[in-house]
């Protein structure tokens, strides 16, 4: 890992060059490098925690002076119980994943002795921009090496000392491995983000890890593709035939399990026939968990009939802006979906329209006992994840069984939804022959392609 | 198909809205629309050719006045023998392809009764920018409808009348189908390209079909991903052990089969041990086909010994710029690859370095009788297509057996190499449960994910 003083361009060029060597290394060579990093970090715990305490000291002062959000200080702290060990275990977990490189997913005989093969290969150079969490550096370095991608890491200024210490350890560990030292570049120069985002000749993909603002900024500025999502404005729709108890469980979990997560629900859509039957229990359970409800006129009127007076007093009126807001907090906007011509099954279309218009195409869910209605919803909602009768909180790489999560993408190309190691790969075509020319297959050449599918 | 007078923003918004309906249509409904388009175009051949002749008249005048390249006039002409019928057959061919929508490629039981499924779905709205060829409109409309993507078409001004006529016919044909009329938008307003390239809220992917300049322009300006390649600077490397006859066949085909194609070879790299054994026959055969050779000192010296005097007089000296030029013409740059320490198998690394530094990561090939050397080459060259002992001209969607070709991509994400219908798809995740919440699986909930792989 190259340290600290390279210019953005030097770092990116070095990463690009080393990426070609990295791409040719065996699974064993890459796994051995992960072992070396794991062991070196384990042995250097004290040095790293000492560096981290310097960052903490400055951060705590800034927080006390009101210049820094206390939640950043918390994320910065590597000495919290289990955090360092979790970081080490994360490296082991990535090491144990199946090698994503060189997986053949298509083999075709174009003609006798002319065989085409498509196989996965690393993308090349990743730029990872992240905020305070210092353990991310170990996680990202592991993912990059496992997937044979070079990576340029740009961290937040609050964790500079921790980054430097971890980077030094990783750098020394890589020296004993076949992975080129330049494969992982740490950039700590100030104002490096803008120039890095323009270096599309060296950098193939940007992965911002942090706030919505960071992601939006990268999406606007980057000259190369960006993997991620700026917003997670997720919806739950309670259809007329939704089960009451299931609705209570799923809505409460989707809102309160971790309100600051991108897969937490922000707007609840309720079919008008469920206003008096399902919504009161749901609302009551949410309020018991401290959730503030912002209601449209119909839902407020229904709840006012059914809830206790002290709860009714806490209901708020929803504004249009509430339906376009990712609260990331214990606040939920509620909107009533009317039956069209009294037909509940076409009402799902109004819910779909609301979601496609107001949502962020991340995760949207329906509660209904009808498979037909659920299919209609899943077919028409334009989101990465469409869930039926379960919590939006399941949108997650670990929960999906991917072993790791690079991020969640709302992109319409490459990777969408929770992204595992697969999202760090692209494919290449290899064609092996014995002297075949295109002219042999032209009108004059007379040979015909067989295009025979071969086993992979 | 909406015609002509919509603003770029109106067209894009209408396409986005209709894309959601299109995405829910059955295979049969989309195929029926393709049949309707085919039949309507067939019935309207005369009207369309009359419109095309108006474009031709203006274009021929411009060409006579030297304002327009005569090759554009040729491409514009729909009345050339077989061209209209080829256009009709192209629609039929696309119709017969397997439906790319809704293919399930992953199914996982997360827990009893909680099943995750990943399936293909359309990207959404495509922006296709193309130059003179009027038949492209029918081809693109077919690909879009088959893949359930809405498309905005922006053609070159030379073919305005042809486009309008074809668009009117397609529009009327769609009225009798379930495909929303707004799914295919033709934009003919002047200067529409720049505003379209900024409408990332409506447009998901840009596919430029035309000159390198057009592709470069889109890559620089677009706020959404661009599928394609700006350059096709392809290499062939003749290793020391390459078969002479095979080398002659493959190099001549790669250069002369269609010199203006992106997959034609532009630089020939020759191992120094092949300078006297293989290169003279290759050079002689190329020169017999009218190819101008631009040589470095060593290759020129070798050829000067072996070729006839009149051929030697035609040899040119290569400049550094020649190794960075996509000639698209009967010109070939030649460079000698020295043995490093006299070791021919490590010489392949110098060829790889040249290709990775000077190439456009499109298609690069090696001629060698050693599988080990070929593997080393294919592992280390950073290109979409790596060929061994066959012509670079095989890099093509039809030749690869994809049934159609949307384009060839040198992108590092989403789709790389020849792109078939698959490149117009992305995936979505669907999760179906019976009330599961994330909290059930937390430390307190106690349930564990099974992550059981299910058959697809």
Specify burial of residue B355 (Cβ count, 10 A radius: 0-12, 13-18, 19+): buried
Residues of chain A positioned with their CB less than 8 A from the CB of B415: 413
CB pairs under 8 A between A and B: 236
* Cα nearest neighbour of A385 on chain B: B429
A382·B20 Cβ contact <8 A = yes
Give the residue on B whose Cα is nearest the Cα of A452. Answer: B401
Q: Mark yes or no for CB contact B246/A434 under 8 Å.
A: yes
The C-alpha atoms of residue B187 and residue B203 are separated, in whole angstroms, by: 14
The nearest CA of chain B is from the CA of A141 a distance in Å of 20
CB contact under 8 A, B427 and A416: yes
Q: Collect all residues of chain A within an 8 Å Cβ-Cβ radius of residue B110.
A: 394, 399-401
- Which residue among A379, A391, A415 sits closest to B436, beta carbon to beta carbon? A391
Q: Which residue in B390, B426, B441 is closest to A435 by CB distance?
A: B390
- Write out the DSSP string of B335-366: EEEPPBTTBHHHHHHHHHHHHHHHS-SSEEEE
Residue A74 · residue A133 · CB < 8 Å: no
- Per-residue pLDDT tens digits of chain A, which is 456 residues long: 555 567 899 999 999 999 999 999 999 999 999 999 999 999 999 999 999 999 999 999 999 998 888 878 888 999 999 999 999 999 999 999 999 999 999 999 999 999 999 999 999 999 999 877 888 889 889 999 999 999 999 988 888 899 989 989 998 999 999 999 999 998 887 788 999 999 999 999 999 988 888 898 998 889 899 998 888 999 999 999 999 999 999 999 999 999 999 999 999 999 999 999 999 999 999 999 999 999 999 999 999 999 999 999 999 999 999 999 999 999 999 999 998 777 777 899 999 999 999 999 999 999 999 999 999 999 999 999 999 999 999 999 999 999 888 889 999 999 999 999 999 999 999 999 999 999 999 778 899 999 999 999
Contact of A387 with A365, CB cutoff 8 Å: yes
Positive or negative: CA dihedral B73, B76, B79, B84: positive
Which of B245, B356, B412 lies closest to A426 in CB terms? Answer: B412
State the smallest CA–CA distance between residue B222 and chain A in angstroms.
Answer: 10
**A426, B416: Cβ pair inside 8 Å?**
yes
Helices and strands of chain A, counted as H and E runs: 15, 17
Residue A19: its pLDDT value, please? 96
- Report chain B residues whose CB lies below 8 A from the CB of A449: 399, 401
CB atoms < 10 A from the CB of A384, how many? 26
B102: closest chain A residue by CA: A379
Six-digit token string for A7: 């210019």
**Which of A251, A373, A429 is most worth mutating to test chain B (most B CB atoms within 10 A of its CB)?**
A429
Among the partner-chain residues A243, A385, A451, the one whose CB lies closest to the CB of B401 is: A451
For residue A157, count other CB atoms closer than 10 A to its CB.
12
Q: How far apart are CA B53 and CA B58, in angstroms?
A: 9
Is the CB of A429 less than 8 angstroms away from the CB of B114? no
Q: Name the helix (H) or strand (E) containing A95.
A: helix A83-96
CA-based nearest residue in chain B for residue A368: B434
Distance from CA of B45 to the nearest CA of A (A): 27
Burial A28-48 (b: 16+ CB within 10 A, else e): eebbbbbebbbebbeebbeeb
* SS3 state at B88: helix
CA distance B93 to B27: 15
Number of C-beta neighbours around residue A85 at 10 A = 11
Taking the C-alpha atoms of residue A154 and residue B423, their distance in angstroms, rounded to an integer, is 32
Q: Which residue in chain B is spatially nearest to A382 when comparing CA positions? A: B20
Cβ neighbours of B451 in A, within 8 Å:
401
For residue B374, give the H/E element and its range: helix B371-380
Which residues in chain B are closer than 8 Å to A417, comparing Cβ atoms? 118, 427-429
B247/chain A closest Cα distance in angstroms: 7
Q: How far is A21 from chain B (nearest CA, A)?
A: 7
Nearest CA in chain A to B426: A413
CA atoms in the 13 A half-sphere facing the CB of A441: 20
CB contact under 8 A, B393 and A437: yes
Set of chain B residues whose Cβ sits within 8 Å of the Cβ of A205: 412-413
CA atoms within 13 A of residue A376's CA, in its CB half-sphere: 19
Say how far apart CA B325 and CA B319 lie, in whole Å. Answer: 10
Chain B's closest residue to A114, CA to CA, is B390
Q: What CA–CA distance (Å, rounded) separates A162 from A158? A: 9
Element (H, E) at A174: helix A160-175
Whether residues A399 and B434 touch (CB distance < 8 A) is answered with no
All domains of chain B, ordered by start, with CATH? 8-107+123-221 (3.40.605.10), 234-394 (3.40.309.10)
Are A382 and B110 inside 8 Å of each other by CB?
A: no
Angle of the B160-175 helix axis to the B136-146 helix axis, nearest 10: 30
**Strands, E assignment, A263-422:** 265-271, 292-295, 316-317, 331-337, 363-367, 385-390, 407-409, 417-419
Nearest to A386 among B380, B393, B430 (CB): B430
Distance from B83 to chain A by nearest Cα, in Å? 16
| Cβ–Cβ gap B257/A204 under 8 Å | no
Q: From chain A, pick out residues whose CB is under 8 angstroms from the CB of B384.
A: 428-429
* Count of Cβ atoms closer than 10 Å to residue A451 Cβ: 16
Phi, psi dihedrals of residue B437, rounded to the nearest 5°:
-120, 155
β-pairing, A104-111 vs A452-453, is antiparallel
3-state secondary structure of A106: strand
Q: Do A249 and B426 touch (CB under 8 A)?
A: no
Q: Which of A19, A374, A390 to mutate to test the interface with B (most CBs of B within 10 A)?
A: A390
- Our CA-based measurement puts residue B8 at a distance from the nearest CA of chain A, in whole angstroms, of 20
Of A124, A249, A356, the CB nearest to B382: A124
Among B236, B348, B401, the strongest candidate for a mutation testing the A interface, having the largest count of A CBs within 10 A, is B401
> If phi over 0 gives left and psi between -120 and 50 gives alpha, with beta otherwise, what is residue B2?
beta
A250: chain B residues, CB-CB within 8 Å: 435-437
Q: How much is the pTM? A: 0.94
Strands, DSSP E only, in B123-180? 125-130, 150-154
Question: From first to last of its 456 residues, what are the pLDDT tens digits of chain B?
Answer: 555 567 899 999 999 999 999 999 999 999 999 999 999 999 999 999 999 999 999 999 999 998 888 878 888 999 999 999 999 999 999 999 999 999 999 999 999 999 999 999 999 999 999 877 888 889 889 999 999 999 999 988 888 899 889 989 998 999 999 999 999 998 887 788 999 999 999 999 999 988 888 898 998 889 899 998 888 999 999 999 999 999 999 999 999 999 999 999 999 999 999 999 999 999 999 999 999 999 999 999 999 999 999 999 999 999 999 999 999 999 999 999 998 777 777 899 999 999 999 999 999 999 999 999 999 999 999 999 999 999 999 999 999 999 888 889 999 999 999 999 999 999 999 999 999 999 999 778 899 999 999 999
The DSSP element (H or E) to which B244 belongs, if any, is helix B244-256
- Interface pTM (ipTM) of the complex? 0.94
Q: Which of A118, A278, A394 to mutate to test the interface with B (most CBs of B within 10 A)?
A: A394
Q: Which residues in chain A are closer than 8 Å to B261, comparing Cβ atoms?
A: none
Contact B400 A250 (CB under 8 A): no
List CB contacts (< 8 A) between B395 and chain A: 429
């Amino acid at each position: 890992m190259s340290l600290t003083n390279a210019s953005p361009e030097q770092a990116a060029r070095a990463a690009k060059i080393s990426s070609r060597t990295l791409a040719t290394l065996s699974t064993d060579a890459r796994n051995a490098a992960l072992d070396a990093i794991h062991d070196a970090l384990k042995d250097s715990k004290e040095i790293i925690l000492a560096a981290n305490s310097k960052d903490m000291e400055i951060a705590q002062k800034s927080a006390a002076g009101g210049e820094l959000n206390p939640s950043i200080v918390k994320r910065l702290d590597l000495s919290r119980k289990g955090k360092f060990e979790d970081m080490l275990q994360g490296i082991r977990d990535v090491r144990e994943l199946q090698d994503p490189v060189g997986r053949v997913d298509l083999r075709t005989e174009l003609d006798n002795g002319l065989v085409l093969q498509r196989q996965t290969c690393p993308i090349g150079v990743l730029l990872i921009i992240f905020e305070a969490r210092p353990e991310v550096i170990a996680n990202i370095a592991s993912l990059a090496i496992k997937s044979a991608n070079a990576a340029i890491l740009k961290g937040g200024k609050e964790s500079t000392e921790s980054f430097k210490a971890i980077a030094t350890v990783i750098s020394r560990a890589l020296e004993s491995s076949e992975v080129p030292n330049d494969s992982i570049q740490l950039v700590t120069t100030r104002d490096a983000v803008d120039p890095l985002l323009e270096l599309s000749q060296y950098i193939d993909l940007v992965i911002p890890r942090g706030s919505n603002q960071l992601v939006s900024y990268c999406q606007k500025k980057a000259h190369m593709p960006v993997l991620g999502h700026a917003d997670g404005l997720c919806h739950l729709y309670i259809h007329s035939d939704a089960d009451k108890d299931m609705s209570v469980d799923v809505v409460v979990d989707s809102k309160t399990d971790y309100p600051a997560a991108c897969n937490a629900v922000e707007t609840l859509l309720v079919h008008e026939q469920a206003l008096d039957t399902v919504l009161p229990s749901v609302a009551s359970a949410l309020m018991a968990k401290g959730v503030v409800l912002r209601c449209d006129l119909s839902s407020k009127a229904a709840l006012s009939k059914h809830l206790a007076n002290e709860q009714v007093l806490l209901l708020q009126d929803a504004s249009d802006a509430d339906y376009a807001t990712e609260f990331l907090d214990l606040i939920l906007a509620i909107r009533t979906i009317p039956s069209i011509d009294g037909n509940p099954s076409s009402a799902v279309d109004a819910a779909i329209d609301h979601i496609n218009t107001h949502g962020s195409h991340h995760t949207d869910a329906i509660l209904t006992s009808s498979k037909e209605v659920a299919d209609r919803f899943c077919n028409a909602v334009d989101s990465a994840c469409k869930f039926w009768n379960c919590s939006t909180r399941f949108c997650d790489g670990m929960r999906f069984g991917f072993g790791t999560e690079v991020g969640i993408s709302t992109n319409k190309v490459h990777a969408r939804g929770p992204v595992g190691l697969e999202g760090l790969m692209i494919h290449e075509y290899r064609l092996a022959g014995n002297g075949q020319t295109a002219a042999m297959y032209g009108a004059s050449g007379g040979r015909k392609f067989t295009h025979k599918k071969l086993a992979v």
